[in-house]
Each structure stands twice: as C-alpha cells, then as structure tokens.
Chains A and B, each alone.
Chain A
Amino acid sequence: MKRAILLLSVFLFVAGCSGNWGWYVVDPRTPTGWINLTFMMRGAYYTLAISVVAISISVVVGLIIALPGLSKNKYLRGINRTYVEVVRSVPILVLILWVFYGLPELTGIRLNVFWAGVFALALSDSAFQAEIFRAGIQSIRRGQYEAAQSISLNYVDTMRFVILPQAIRRILPALGNQLVYMIKMSSLVSVIGLQDLTRNARELVVTEYRTLEIYTILVLEYLVIILIVSAGVRWLERRLQESERG
C-alpha cells in the first residue's frame, strides 16, 4: 500500500517532467475544474451501486449453486460442475455484451443498462462464489453435522444456524477479494453506457482531451474506494474472530 503510493508519486513526477501537464482540467480551485471533478466523482454512485447489488445477488446464487455440489448424488454434483465450468469460461465483457445486445433478441426482454450489467456481473461472479462456498462448507468438520443431527435439527436449520455461520467466517477474506474484484470489473459495464466512474472519465476526456490527468484521477478514485472496502472487510473479520475466542 505504501509502496503503491510511492510508485505512483514517482510515476507522476516523471510524467510531470515532460512539462506537458494540464491539471487545470481537474483543479478544484477553478470553476470548470471543480465541475469536471465532481462530474467524475458522481460516477462512484453507479460503480458502487452496481457492485453491491451484483455481489448481493451473486452470493445468494453462488450459495444455491454450491449446495448441490456438496451432495452425495452425482447428478446434483454434475449440475454444480456444469454451471461453474460454463459460467466461468465466459469473459465478463463478452457476457455484458451478450446480455445487453443478445438476450433481448432471444427473449424479447430488454434490460436497461444497469440491470443488464447487474445480471452479467452477478452471473459471472456466482460461479466463483459457488466454488468459495463449496470449499468453505467442506472445511467444516463432520462432527458439527452430527451434533446438529443429534439435537434434531433439519437440513435447513443445520445449514442456517450451524454450518453457514462458521463457513462464512472462514471465507470472509475470499468474499472480500470477490467484492474488490467486482468493483473493478464493474468498470466494464461502461461500454454499454452505465454512467459509472470509468464512463464519466471517458466522457470528460472527449471534451477536455487531457487523458493522462483524467485517467490518473480515475485510478485514484478506484484506489480510494477499494482501500476503504478492504479496511471494512478486515474490520469485520477481526470482529467475528473476537466473538469466538474473546
């Protein structure tokens, strides 16, 4: 993290030496600079909204897909394998294009940009979530299931009160990674027109021509968001661990 900032400042310094900088386009002290800067930052709303909605859906779908993967029945396991293998083979950008342009022709249902993006991101991420949940659930010892059975809990209650709370604690770091990954991948939805950070930066470039400055700000915007998210995940991890060991 410190190294990243150091590298970045060296990079900016070297770039600045060319004497060709135009920071004025995003200088908050000038009226246009301020307008440009706030225009760019407004994109954070859609970047965050689409990431959070998509990951909420993909966690649920991933869990539902993970469960047959834990079954003794090989056909149920087959469903899980097929879903995971097929879905994770499709590049996210391709999936976004297919959902936005292809799906309406196939089904007649036209999703707006936001929901098409959510759909594609969630679908793609669900395959990874399914693998994460499967590994997490498999890491819980058999004795936990047996204890749950011996106090008469049914399958749903066993999962809900005994297995998943423990599995989720273990996979929290992996879930945090997926959220970071999701925020970054959401930038791809800008190609179909979502007004996110990336899209707004590109639009500004079209009118202002200052690519280096504007994209540097864009990099910093993602950096700040992701550092905050990572810190949040680590805080949650620590809190959950404390509650077990005190």
Chain B
Amino acid sequence: MPFDDSAPIIEIKNVSKYFGDFKALADVSLEISSGERVVICGPSGSGKSTLIRCVNRLESHEEGHVFVSGTELTDARASLMKVRSDVGMVFQQFNLFPHLKVIDNLTLGPRRALGLSEEAARARAMEYLERVQIPEQAEKYPLQLSGGQQQRVAIARSLCMEPRILLFDEPTSALDPEMINEVLDVMVELAGSGMTMVVVTHEMGFARRVADRMVFMDGGEIVEVAETEAFFTAPKSRRCRAFLDKILNH
C-alpha cells in the first residue's frame, strides 16, 4: 500500500502493553502527522518511554495496532526493516559505540544497512557532524567527548540514516545543566527543518518553543492531548494541572 501523505505518519490504535502482569500501557491511541512535533510528558513510570519504544519496535505491544507510514508493526522481517529505516531514536544514555571513532559510529549504519560506499557514508557523516556543530571531533572516540557532544553525535548518527521520524527519549536528562542547551539548540534547528519529532522530555521551555502538540501521560494512559498553547495555559485534567504546577514551579 503506497503511503498517503495526508494520512498520519504514526498511528497508535488502542495499544496495551504488559510487563508480566503489570500493564505499562493501557489502551493508548495517538495519531501524529508528517512533520508534526509532539512532546510527551508525565511523571516517572507513566509509560512515556514504553510508548515511544513501541513506535520503533524496541518494545512489542500485546493489544492494539501501531502503524508507521502505513505499515503495521509486527515481528515480520519486512515490517521491522521498514520501521527501522523510517524511524530513528536518540536515547537518554546516548548509547554511542565506545570502541568506534565518532566518524565510524556515524558511517556504520549507512554502510551496512543502507549500502552506501565508504566515501558516500563519510561525506554524509561529515555533513551531519557540521549540522550538530562538531565536525572537528570526527576522529575522536565517544568517551573523549563531553556529554553534550556525545548526545549531538548520537543525534547525527540517527540523522545519517535519514529517517522520516526521530524519537527522543529524555535526550537531556543525563546531561550536566550547562550542556543541556547545546543539545536543545540542535533539536530546535531540527524542528525547523520539517522532521517529524516525538520527544519525551521535562524541558518545558523547549516544549513550548517547538511542540505543535503536547501529550500528558499518567499510569500508562494518555490523559491529555492538546495544542501546545492550550496545554500550558488551560490544562483540562486535574492530574495534568498538578504535574505542570510541580514541574514549572521548580
């Protein structure tokens, strides 16, 4: 089925997810259209990570359906290949490959999964390193970089795969405060480029600036979805108001 651009690029329909007996996601539904920037927030343990990990199949769901660019996510090889090539992910702990130089972290996926030549992969890697403003670190190893630089390398590594969707799971939570902004700046720039972004974060300043819509989760459920301005000025649910009060008056 060819993907129709007006259809949502991510469709989550009545998804439930269990860890043993524990229900981590309870009947969650959400549609995200191409180019949209969505920020997900909520208290710890509310299922934010689990939800976005279901979007690139790092977790599998027991009930409901997830579609990415029109393809349903299943364990079938074709489905996995499709979703992995469409969706990139940036992790809280960066998860760079410590034994590979920055440049090799970036070229590995394009060479092995996309079949690019060594030169083409290098050229692409340098292009994205420029974009995250650390081209001079190409020949270093990840552990020689600061946390903020490492996370920017991780973003560049995802971009090298040229995904349609980029997922961020608390990309600044492991960083020292003075490094948070250099990562957020890169993300803001990215948001301006039309990339579909789903971001789990507690950085409400960033959310207000770039998000089209906000999602608030609690106890494995989506409690509230709203346009960003409305979400911050007039949250409807009590739980969401309580959460925003706590996090904004911090």
Q: Complex formed: what's the CA distance from A214 to B176 in Å? A: 66
A152 near B113 with CB under 8 A, answer yes
B contact residues around A162 at 8 Å (CB): 97, 108
- Chain A neighbourhood of B78, CB < 8 A: none
Contacts from B to A (Cβ < 8 Å) = 56, 58, 81, 84-85, 87-89, 91, 93, 95-100, 108-109, 112-114, 140-141, 143-144, 154, 157-158, 160-161
Chain A residues closer than 8 Å to B91, beta-carbon distance? 143, 146-147
- Known: A151-B113, A152-B84, A153-B109. Contact between A243 and B95, CB under 8 A? no
Knowing A161-B108, A243-B141 touch, does A151 contact B99 (C-beta < 8 A)? no
* Chain A minimum-CB-distance residue to B88: A150
Which chain A residue shows the least CB distance to B89? A150
Taking a contact as CB atoms closer than 8 A, the residue among A144, A150, A166, A246 that contacts B56 in the complex is A150
B58 pairs with A157, CB closer than 8 A = no
How distant is the Cα of A173 from the Cα of B113 in the complex, in angstroms? Answer: 33
Give A142 to B153 CA distance when docked, in angstroms.
19
Count of A-B contacts judged by CB separation below 8 Å: 74
Chain B residues with CB below 8 A from A141, complex form: 95
Given A157-B112, A161-B108, answer yes or no on A151-B95 (Cβ-Cβ < 8 Å): no
Instruction: Report if A149-B58 is in contact (Cβ < 8 Å); known contacts: A244-B98, A245-B144, A246-B141.
Output: yes
B143 engages A151 (CB within 8 Å): no
Cβ contact of A147, chosen from B85, B87, B95, B143, cutoff 8 A:
B95
Q: How far is the CB of A161 from chain B (nearest CB, A)?
A: 6
Taking CB atoms, residues of chain A closer than 8 Å to B160 are: 151
Residues A143 and B93 in contact, CB atoms below 8 Å apart = yes
Which of chain B's residues have a CB closer than 8 A to the CB of A147?
A: 89, 91, 95-97, 154, 157
* C-alpha spacing A245/B101, complex, angstroms: 11
CB distance from A196 to the nearest CB of B (A): 37
Q: Is the CB of A153 within 8 A of B108?
A: yes
CB-CB contacts below 8 Å: A149-190 with B: 149-154, 157, 161-162, 165-166, 169
Q: What's the Cα separation between A244 and B99 when bound, in Å? A: 6
Note all chain B residues with C-beta closer than 8 A to A149.
Answer: 56, 58, 84
Q: Chain A: how many interface residues by the 8 Å CB criterion?
A: 22
Residues 125-153 of A, flagged 1 when their CB comes within 8 A of B and 0 if not, give: 00000000000000001011011111111
Q: Are B158's CB and A150's CB within 8 A? A: yes
Contact A152 B97 (CB under 8 A): no
Known contacts A244-B143, A245-B143; is-contact A152 B81 (Cβ 8 Å): yes
**A224 CA / B160 CA spacing, docked (Å):** 51
- Interface contact B95-A144, CB-CB below 8 Å: yes
**B144 / chain A contacts, CB cutoff of 8 Å:** 245-246
Q: Which of B81, B98, B157 contacts A151 (CB 8 A)?
A: B157
Distance A151 CA – B104 CA, assembled complex (angstroms): 13
A-B contact pairs, 7 of them (CB 8 A): A141-B95, A144-B95, A149-B56, A150-B58, A152-B114, A165-B99, A246-B141
Whether B158 pairs with A151 at a CB distance below 8 angstroms is yes
Query: A residues engaging B (CB < 8 A)?
Result: 141, 143-144, 146-154, 157, 161-162, 165-166, 169, 243-246
The smallest C-beta distance from A214 to any residue of chain B, in angstroms, reads 47
Cβ contact within 8 Å between B141 and A152: no
* A243 vs B85: C-alpha distance when bound (angstroms): 31
List, in ascending order, chain A residues with CB within 8 A of B99's CB: 165-166, 169, 243-244
CA–CA, A179 to B180, complex, Å? 48
A146 touches B58 (CB 8 A): yes
Which residue of B is nearest A169, CB measured? B99
A62 to chain B, nearest CB (A): 21
How far is B154's CA from A153's CA once the two chains are assembled, in angstroms? 16
CA distance A186 to B87 in the complex (A): 53
Q: In whole angstroms, how far apart are the Cα atoms of A246 and B99 in the complex?
A: 11
Q: Which of B88, B109, B158 has the most CB of A within 10 A?
A: B109
Q: What residues of B have a CB within 8 angstroms of the CB of A148 in the complex? A: 97
* B58 and chain A: residue at smallest CB distance: A146
Report the separation of the CA atoms of residues A18 and B58 in the bound assembly, to the nearest whole angstrom.
74
Q: How far is the CB of B11 from chain A (nearest CB, A)?
A: 20
Whole-angstrom distance between the alpha carbons of A149 and B84 in the complex? 7
A153 and B113 in contact, given A143-B91, A144-B97, A244-B99 (Cβ under 8 angstroms): yes
A43 CB to nearest chain B CB (Å): 39
Residues of A within 8 Å of B161, CB to CB, are 151-152
Provide the bound-state CA to CA distance between A50 and B143, in Å: 40
Closest to B141 in A: A244
Contacts of B88 in A (CB 8 A): 150-151
| Contact (Cβ within 8 A) B141 A151 | no
Query: What separation, in Å, do the CA atoms of A245 and B143 have in the docked complex?
Result: 6
State which of A143, A150, A165, A244 has its C-beta within 8 Å of the C-beta of B84. A150
